[in-house]
Amino acid sequence: MSDEVESSVRERAVAALNAGDLETATILNRELVRLHDRMGITIVSITEGSAETTMELNAETAGSAPGTVHGGMLATFADVTAAMALTRSLNDTEHIQVTTDMHIRYFRQPKSGPLTARASVVHRGRLILSAECVICDAEGRDLARATATYMLVQLPS
pLDDT of residue 133: 98
CATH superfamily of 47-154: Hotdog Thioesterase (3.10.129.10)
Per-residue pLDDT at 3 exceeds 70: no
Per-residue pLDDT at 21 exceeds 90: no
Average pLDDT over every residue of 128-136: 97
**All structural domains of the chain with their residue ranges:** 47-154
Structural contact between residues 150 and 83, judged by C-beta atoms closer than 8 angstroms: yes
Average pLDDT over every residue of 76-101: 85
Going across the sheet that includes 142-154, the strands are: 41-47, 50-55, 115-124, 128-136, 142-154, 95-106
pLDDT of residue 40: 87
Q: What is the DSSP string of 5-46?
A: HHHHHHHHHHHHHHHT-HHHHHHHHHHH-HHHHHHTEEEEEE
User: For residue 16, what pLDDT band results from cuts at 50, 70 and 90?
Assistant: confident
pLDDT of residue 51: 93
pLDDT of residue 93: 66
Buried b (16+ CB within 10 A) or exposed e, 39-58: bbbbbeebeeebbbbbbebe
Could you tell me if residue 132 is left (phi over 0), alpha (psi between -120 and 50 degrees) or otherwise beta? beta
Helical H runs in the chain? 3-19, 22-32, 34-39, 71-90
More confident residue, 32 or 56: 56
pLDDT of residue 30: 64
| Beta bridge partners of residue 41, listed in sequence order | 55
Per-residue pLDDT at 150 exceeds 90: yes
pLDDT of residue 44: 93
